[in-house]
Amino acid sequence: MSPLSRWPEDDGLLRRLRRYRREPNPDMIAYLKLLQQSTSRRPSSPASWNERDIRSVYPDITDDDVAELAKFMAELNSSLRPPTEYEGPHHLKVQVRAAQLDEVVTTHGPWQDFAEPPLFALWDAGRINAQTSRAPTTGEPIVFIDEELLHFLSLFSCVVALAAPVGRPVSNGILLSTDMAEVRAKLKRDESMKIILYAVLLGCVMTGRTPREKLSAPDQYTSMLTGKLVSAAETFVLAHEYAHVLEKHLDDGMSDITGTDGQRVSQSLWSLAQEGIADRVGLFLAAWTLGDQLTTYWGAELFLCANEALLKAIAMVRSGRENGLREDERHQLATLRFRRDALEWSVRDRLEKASNGKAGSEGEWARVGAQMHFARDIIQELWQHTAPLLRDAHERGARPDPMWEL
């Protein structure tokens, strides 16, 4: 995990953000608890923030990092609010990410007059999404991160890592090939790899919940890659929602940035323009937070492509056809693909500006472009093997859980 920084006391903006997070409006918390109680589908397991809980959400954390995080949580300016009775150990992960994003907002970008940070909270609505809205009691922005989304991103990150050609550690990282020919060769050698995504997607579609069984990594290098991918995907999601507030997308009187009443396989679908802005700003914030631009991009595409795959899987199990989508699902799929394309062009545009013109950036773009779609390409390759199996499941009588038909 990226360490939280120590900041001087005269940093007024960060001090205000940290105080707001540590001591949010009591009326906002009361509203949050009512909503969490109404959506909770199973008994809660409140986080205690002990060493065991820290390690449960940061499996690769070092002893020094555990001590540093515990020290930060004890400080008066820690930014980390205590969990409600409905927020489990993953609350810690979300609050640490929010604190890291606060630091980035404070030091990068044109937001020095920013005074209304979103409150980040977990809920258990059973929807694979995150949602930004205003609390009706206070008018303050609040971002709900569904626990189902965290499970979903964790599983998909492991699926991609299992299919990736990885090797020994190199300079505190891993030896990783992004060559799809090597990915296909690995899939050909290991037939079991071809049904992993099928099992994950069929479980999601038929039960309405992300399978809770963890996929086991065969070695520490695959585990390291899984951790990098899930961290990147989660940080992008939180940064995207933070960007909606930074860019004042709630200031036109809308109470909710959803557009389709919080549909199940998307973050926010209010408008393509605003989604594109939030993705672009969110990618910038997430990259500064993680200090790794390429892995951050993988995380963004992993989130978008995983949602695409789930939509297509629902259609396949429902009708036996990949295009057997309802009208609202077709809208969601088109939006996800637009966001993915827009994100790529945003990166290319930034590269061209940094290179003082298109001509000077072509060589760099060729190098970057060959690596940036690593997560997308693996998911799409695995889908080619998964689609026929899902069609067979439909023919044998499998159907989506009723929640997908609401």
Structure tokens of 252?
Answer: 């036109």
**Residues 230, 366 within the same domain:** yes
Q: Give the burial class of 319: count Cβ atoms within 10 A of its Cβ; 0-12 exposed, 13-18 middle, 19 or more buried.
A: middle
pLDDT at site 41:
64
Q: Give the burial class of 327: count Cβ atoms within 10 A of its Cβ; 0-12 exposed, 13-18 middle, 19 or more buried.
A: exposed
Q: Quick check: is 137 in a domain?
A: no
Per residue in 60-96, pLDDT (tens digit) is 677 887 787 777 776 656 778 888 888 887 888 898 8
**Residues 81, 167 within the same domain:** no
**Residues 200, 327 within the same domain:** yes
Q: Quick check: is 378 in a domain?
A: yes
**Residues 190, 226 within the same domain:** yes
Q: Quick check: is 28 in a domain?
A: yes
pLDDT at site 266:
40
How many domains would you assign to the chain?
Answer: 2
Per residue in 56-68, pLDDT (tens digit) is 667 667 788 778 7
CA distance 319 to 322: 8
**Residues 316, 388 within the same domain:** yes
Residue the block writes with tokens 């061209």:
352
Q: Quick check: is 112 in a domain?
A: yes
**Residues 297, 203 within the same domain:** yes
Q: Could you report the average pLDDT of every consecutive run of 10 residues in the chain (406 residues)?
A: 54 79 90 87 59 70 78 69 84 88 85 80 88 89 92 94 78 74 89 86 93 81 89 96 89 51 43 86 93 92 96 96 90 91 87 65 66 92 94 96 86
CA distance 122 to 146: 6
Q: With the C-alpha atoms ordered 205, 295, 297, 278, is the resulting torsion angle positive or negative?
A: positive
Residue the block writes with tokens 């990147």:
232
Alpha helices in 40-134 (DSSP H): 51-57, 63-74, 90-107
Distances (CA, A) of 166 to 23, 226, 376: 44, 11, 17
**Residues 58, 205 within the same domain:** no
Q: Phi and psi of 167, rounded to 5°?
A: -145, -155
pLDDT at site 268:
42
pLDDT at site 255:
46
Q: Which of 157, 138, 143 is nearest to 97 (CA)?
A: 143
Give the end of a domain, one of 55, 89, 124. Answer: 124
Q: Quick check: is 244 in a domain?
A: no
Q: Phi and psi of 28, rounded to 5°?
A: -65, -45
Contact 269, 129 (CB under 8 A): no
CA distance 127 to 147: 8
Q: Phi and psi of 151, rounded to 5°?
A: -65, -40
45 CB contacts (<8 Å, ≥6 apart)?
88, 89
**Residues 205, 63 within the same domain:** no
Q: Which of 239, 223, 209 is nearest to 143 (CA)?
A: 239
Structure tokens of 62?
Answer: 């070092």
Give the end of a domain, one of 106, 124, 142. Answer: 124
Residue 54: CA count within 13 A, CB half-sphere:
18
Give the end of a domain, one of 124, 139, 174. Answer: 124
**Residues 167, 229 within the same domain:** yes
**Residues 293, 159 within the same domain:** yes
**Residues 156, 287 within the same domain:** yes
Structure tokens of 292?
Answer: 């790794």
**Residues 216, 332 within the same domain:** yes
Q: Quick check: is 133 in a domain?
A: no
Helices 374-395 and 196-207: crossing angle in degrees, nearest 10, is: 60
Q: Quick check: is 340 in a domain?
A: yes
Helices 374-395 and 293-319: crossing angle in degrees, nearest 10, is: 10
Q: Which of 219, 33, 46, 240 is nearest to 153 (CA)?
A: 240
Q: Quick check: is 210 in a domain?
A: yes
pLDDT at site 264:
42
Structural domain for 271, as ranges: 151-235+261-405
